[in-house]
Structures are given as structure tokens and as C-alpha cells.
Amino acid sequence: MTVTAYATPAFCDGIQYFGEAPAEMAAYLDTAAIGEGDVAIASPSDPKAVYQTVLAADALRYLTLQMTASKQSGHPGGFASVADEIAALIMLGYKNLITEVGHHAPGFYSTVFLDRSLEAMEIKTVTQLCDRFRETHGLLGHLSGQIPGLLNPAGPLGQGQHFAMAGAKLNPGTLFPVTIGDGGLGEPYIMSSMAHFNTAYPQSTNFLPILVWNGFSQEHHSMVSTQSNEAMIAYWQGNGFKDVILVDAKDYDDADQPGPYVDSTAFSLKQRMAFTQALLEATDKAAKQALSGTLTVLIVKQLKGAGVHKRGAKSHNLYPGDTLDKDYIVSALQTRALPAVGWDLVRTNFERSNGGPNVKTAVTESELALADLGQLPLNEFPVGGDKQVATTAMGLLVGHVGQQDSNFVVTNADGNAASGINNINQALKIVHPTTDDLYFQGPNGQVYEPLSEDACAGMAAAQALFGGRSLWCSYESFVINGLPIWQTVTQAMAELRRNTPSTICLFTAGALEQGRNGWTHQRPEIENYFAAMMRNGNVFPLFPVDANSIQACYEWAVGTSNKGITITASKSPLPIRTTLAQTHEALKSGAIVLQETPGEKTIVFAVVGDMMLLPVMEAAETLAQAGIGSKVVAIVSPRRLYRSTDVAWETCRNGDDTFLSDEAFATLFAGDALLGVTGGSSAMLEPVMLRSTLPRDVMAWKRGETTANAGQLFAFNGLTAEALAHRAKSLMA
């Protein structure tokens, strides 16, 4: 390839090959198609704009392939099949780009490199782009929360649409395109989540799904590769989309490519221009419809790997040995190579699009203004007074938050009424097109109730990441179905360069309450996940003791940012054991001493969970009758009980360095032996077991069974007062 006489832009340092523009395109290289002071091209049918979109697509493919090949690692093929569409969106001024496909990461990095967003992390040249790919403090293999100009993390499939929908809800008038791979289309639960969202928020059509229909998945043909165009259109129409716009590269093929999926980069220049113009016009139409109230999907049908080193599933991944010196890599880069003037024009267009680099203009690059909540209406119940339902007490506070903050949303798949928080429905109403006061529902409600934990977690977590307050409510047993996106978002929050409200959860109906429902509703093992995630540094599982304690926990949670906070509490009436002040202190120290009984020797009960305190208190009484002393310590925030070196708090946004000191820990858990007790996962007791030097043991949940009452379920798991007292005596023998 011959280098043109045009001065090479400085950012091109590291580009291995340059090309020449066809002579007939020279007239389209004099100025950028997005004029100075403009935010988009003037017309999708303008030949200059069309040709510069072709250049942009080739630039994206080139950078994606050179970047991945420089590390013999990464995923160029999937993004290559949608590079033309990403280029079209940029040229039309739409840069709040979201993806469901983590494997498209290098293509998205190329996009924000071209618009200069990556300069915020000192990536200014192609050399630096390649050097920092897949390196620590660089460009992760999958999208993260820390990359300037990119709106969402992406790893597990089936998540990206949640970010697009949350963005649309919080930012009316802004378009949120989201690319969805045909390989991941069947993942839980892309289509159903969009259908429920559209039913709940029919006015929020300003998200635009873009199906990347390239015929292949990661290692084989995609499961929708055999569908006809008509069947695919009908599928989307049957799920509520009013307009399905499909652009099929096959319709423009003049290279006689076999099969239904073809590569537009193999067309003649005339047909590449025709295909690209069709994409620009279709994208322009789809975007305008989405912004004006019509639920629209755009489908781009083009072969996976279009324009890179291989085609089909073979293009998906690079492996060791796929170096920049390989003939098929060299050939692909040389074929895609732009002239220096082309690179300059692409950079100019990308930078001008939407008013500037995404690092300055994307909605997630600034903090969303939050409503003032005022003072939460805490209601302190008298210690030793009537039993209270903790979740109901918290529900009153949640209603107040929603009444002060119109953006606030509560999500629940299993129903708030079933969790003792019907007062949330009464205060905020379930969002539903049918108004019915009997069920506290109406079109302006703030309670979002799809029968899918994925959709519940997705909406709540995505809204928090995008700057709005939310609360995800669930039965503890069912949390696993929505956890992947919550886990993804909490990690992203730890890495963010801005503050955003913490993602807060209320998990009710613990295993011990669910005897009659049997083991299907008795799955406290989810606490293992949260126990492991505590070491991330920004994850705080909370276990309030009672109806006072839960109010203090929620009050603290809504005042935090960039954290993942789970509150696990019973929906049964339980004794009031603490004051608000005690939990305020426990949120700093980790635990509360509930009761001390003198004796010749003292057993320390370190207890996680509110209902678990019932047999523990009974066991303490039994031991007292035998002259054995006890101390009952309720663990409210186990993360505070770790040593600071156990947790990666230093690397978190708003890193929280509050941990109980060794001296305070020794005082809090002082005794002759220690018995950790929980009706859930024993992993929550790890911080105590690590630090205590006393003779110690653990009694915890084993597995579920159908029982007539909670007492029988305690007995099945060996957690009766008798068993606890016996184990305590053996520890001190």
C-alpha cells in the first residue's frame, strides 16, 4: 500500500498500513461531512456523508483487528458485522451507545478512541490503544464501568437492554441504541424484559434495539440463523414492536456470495455505497420513530466477521499465534487501510458528532440531579414492646423516598404484598396501563413488577448505575435469577469515575420462614455470593435485627453512593430488641451486643439473621440455668468485621475504609468460646472466624425441607435451642 502525501495525523502513530482512496471519491475528501459546529450529517443520502461513513466503518474494523491482533487475544468478528451501523449512528449524531455483547468491546474502544474520549486515560495514539488493550488499568477484555465515554459494562449476555431502557426512562428525548447479538438473543430474558418495559412505560420508546443478525454465535451457527427475514420480522412484531426495519446486506451483493449472510466489504464500491446509504436512511428513520413514540427495532443482517481476517464463527476470537505478522491478519489490515486524509476525516466526524467526545457528552459522564428526600420518617418502636414486621417498617420509608423522588423505582417479581411491604404499593402504586385501586395500580406508578427476577434486577441496577435511585425487592430464594446484572453493576460502580446512587436490595422471606413451601423456597445459599462479594470493597450485606434496625439500615443505604447493599429481613412479626442508635453504631462497628448473661464461663454467640435469634436466646437461657454465661452478638454488617487488608476497598470509588479495630473486635467478641450461628450461609461468618482466637465453631443452614412451621425447619437443620446449647457446652469442655 502507498502512503499518500497528506500529513499523517498524530493519533495515527502505530497504524501499520495506509491506503489510497479511489480517484472517483476524491471530491468527498475535501471536508468533513459533519460540519464545524454541527452535531450530525445534514442528510443520510448525501454522497459525501455516505462515503465518509464507509471510511468510518473501515476505520473501526481496522482498529479492532489491529488492537486484538497486537495481543493475539480478543473478539473482532462480532463487532465487524455491525461496524457499518455503528458508523451510521455516529454520523447521525447518536453516541449514547449501549451493547448487550461484551465481545464487542474492542469495537467500542475503537469508537471512543476515534472521538478522543480515551484521551482521558492517556490513550492518544494507536500505539497506546494497542499497548493498553487487555492490560491492568487499561482496556478490559469486556466493557467495564471505568472506560471514558462508554455507558455500560457488558460481560454476561442478555443484560444490555436493561441499561438502554433505564437510560430511556431517566433521559426522555435522548436516544439509546443498544446492539443485541443474534447469538445471545435467547438469553434470559431480552425480549420479555423489553415487552414488559414497553407495557409499563409506553411513552419511553427512546431506546433502539439493533439486532446484529450475523448468522453465527461464538463457536457455531446461531440458533436463529435458519429464520427467514419474514419470520424474524414477525417475531419482533409479535413482541410489541410497531416497526421492524431490516437492512439485509444480501440485497446489495454483487459479488455472488453464497448463503443468506454476506460481507458488504466484498461488494463493489458502488454497492458498498448503496448498502451504507440504506443503513444511514434506515437508522435515521428508526431513530426518529423511537424518539417520537414508536417502538422500533433495527435489524442489520450481515455475515459475522465482515471485513476482518476470517468469516463466520471463525472470526469470533483470536488465539495465541494470531499475530500482526500472520498473512491473513496482514491481508485484512491492508484491505481495510485508509489514507491519512481518511483517518483525519473520520476523527473529525467522530469528535463533532453529538457535540463533542463522549467523555464530555454521554449522559453517564455527568451526575443526574437527585431529589432532596428530606428527613426519612423513622418510627422507633419501644424495645420489648409489641412484635413488629421489619419489612413493613422499611416499606413506609420506601414510600416516602418515592413520593419525594419521581424517578425512584421499586422492582419486585414475586409481589410486594407477599413480602409484607404492600404499603409500598399503596404509597407508590404498581405501574400498569390498567387503573385499579383494589390492586393499587395505575399508569403513573413507581413499582415495577415483571414476573422475572432478571428484569427486576436489571431495571433496578441499571437505573442506579445511570444515576437514579431504585430498590430491588425479592424473596431470598429467587435472587439467583437476577444476580448476574446486579453483580456486574456493583463491580462497575466500584470502578466509576463519578458518583451514582448505591444499588439497594431488600431480600425477604428467609428460608426459615418458608417451611410449608419446601426447598424450592429455601435457598439462602445466595448469601455465599454476597459473602464473597464483600471482598470487592463496595458490597455491604446487611442483616437488621428488628423493625427498628431495618429502618436505620435503609436510612444509611439511601445516603450512600457506588455501593451494592443487600438488606435481608423476615416478613414475620418479631421482637423489638434494639434502638435506632444501636444499629447506627453497628453500621460502623459491624455488630451489636444484644444480651450478656454472667456465668463461670462465657460462650459468645455471633448471630447472623433476625429469626435465628429466637433459638439463640432460648439457648442462652438454658445455659444460664446451668450456670454458663453467654453473650449474644447480632452481626448487622459483616463487611465491617473484616480486617482492612481482607478487602479491596482502596480501589473503589468512594472507598470505604471503616473496619472494626483489633482491640474493639477483641472486646466485642470477648469470652471463653465462640459459636457462629446463622440460618443462612456460613460464609457470612467468615470475618468473625478469621479474627477470633477463641475456641470456635459454626452452626448454619444445611438444606431445605417441607415442614409445618419454622420450628421444625430449625430442627431439620440442627438449629434448635437444645442443639445450640449442647454445642456451646462442648466448645467449653
In the chain, domain spans: 10-360, 385-732
Question: Cβ neighbours of residue 532 under 8 Å, at least 6 residues apart?
Answer: 683
User: Is the torsion defined by CA of 376, 382, 383, 389 positive or negative?
Assistant: negative
Q: Residue 444 pLDDT more than 50?
A: yes
pLDDT at res. 733: 83
Give the pLDDT of residue 530: 96
* pLDDT above 60: residue 524: yes
Once rounded to an integer, what is the mean pLDDT over residues 325-348?
A: 97
Question: pLDDT digit string (tens) for 192-248?
Answer: 999 999 999 999 999 999 999 999 988 899 999 999 999 999 999 999 999 999 999
**How many angstroms separate the CA atoms of 670 and 662, rounded?**
12
Confidence of residue 1 (pLDDT cuts 50, 70, 90): very low
Does residue 189 have a cis bond before it (omega within 30 degrees)? yes
Q: To 10 degrees, what angle do helices 453-465 and 160-170 make?
A: 60
pLDDT of residue 172: 97
Task: Give the pLDDT confidence score for residue 218 in this predicted structure.
Answer: 85
The pLDDT tens digits of the residues spanning 657-683 come to 999 999 999 999 999 999 999 999 999
* pLDDT above 50: residue 4: no
**208 close to 175: Cβ distance less than 8 angstroms:** yes
Look at residue 250 and tell me whether its pLDDT is greater than 50: yes
Instruction: Give the pLDDT of residue 414.
Output: 83
pLDDT computed for residue 3 by the predictor = 41
CA dist 390 and 380 (Å) reads 12
The whole-number average pLDDT for the span 281-294 is: 98
Supply the pTM of this predicted model: 0.96
Topology adopted by domain 10-360: Rossmann fold (3.40.50)
Are 526 and 721 within 8 A, CB to CB? no
At residue 654 the predicted structure's pLDDT band, cuts being 50, 70 and 90, is very high
Please tell me if the domain spanning 10-360 has the same topology as the one spanning 385-732.
Answer: yes
Residue 637, pLDDT above cutoff 90: yes
CB distance 144 to 440 below 8 Å: no
| DSSP 8-state secondary structure symbol assigned to residue 598 | -
- 5: pLDDT confidence band, cut at 50, 70 and 90? low
Answer positive or negative: Cα dihedral of 41, 44, 46, 47.
positive
- Please give the pLDDT value at position 583: 98
| 300, pLDDT greater than 60 | yes
228/220 Cα distance (integer angstroms): 18
Question: What is the distance, to the nearest Å, from the Cα of residue 507 to the centroid of all Cα atoms in its chain?
Answer: 18
- How confident is the model over 594-605, as a mean pLDDT? 97
Beta bridge pairs of residue 602: 629
pLDDT at 122 over 50: yes
- Cβ-proximal residues to 702 (8 Å cutoff; 6+ apart), any chain: 716, 717, 718
Lookup: cell for 595: 444480651
pLDDT for residue 2: 42
Calculate what percentage of the chain has a pLDDT beyond 70.
99
Handedness of CA 469, 474, 476, 482 (dihedral sign): negative
Dihedral, 129, 156, 360, 139 alpha carbons, nearest 10:
-20
- To the nearest whole percent, how much of the chain has pLDDT over 90? 92
What count of other Cβ atoms lies within 10 Å of the Cβ of residue 26?
Answer: 10
The whole-number pLDDT of residue 156 equals 82
- CATH number belonging to domain 385-732: 3.40.50.970
What integer pLDDT is reported at residue 185 of this predicted model?
84
pLDDT of residue 458: 96
Query: Contact, 295 vs 236, CB < 8 A?
Result: no
Alpha helices in 204-291 (DSSP H): 229-238, 269-291
User: Is residue 339 over pLDDT 70?
Assistant: yes
Per-residue pLDDT at 712 exceeds 60: yes
Contacts of 412 by beta carbon, 8 Å cutoff, 6+ apart: 419, 447, 448, 449, 456, 472, 473, 474
C-alpha cell at 311: 468469516
Q: What is the mean pLDDT of the chain?
A: 95
Specify the pLDDT at position 674: 98
Bin 215: left if φ > 0, else alpha if -120 < ψ < 50, else beta: left
Q: Sign (positive/negative) of CA torsion 538, 543, 545, 549?
A: positive
Q: How confident is the model at residue 686 (pLDDT cuts 50, 70, 90)?
A: very high
DSSP label at residue 436: B
Residue listed under C-alpha cell 455491604? 540
Contact 497, 653 (CB under 8 A): yes
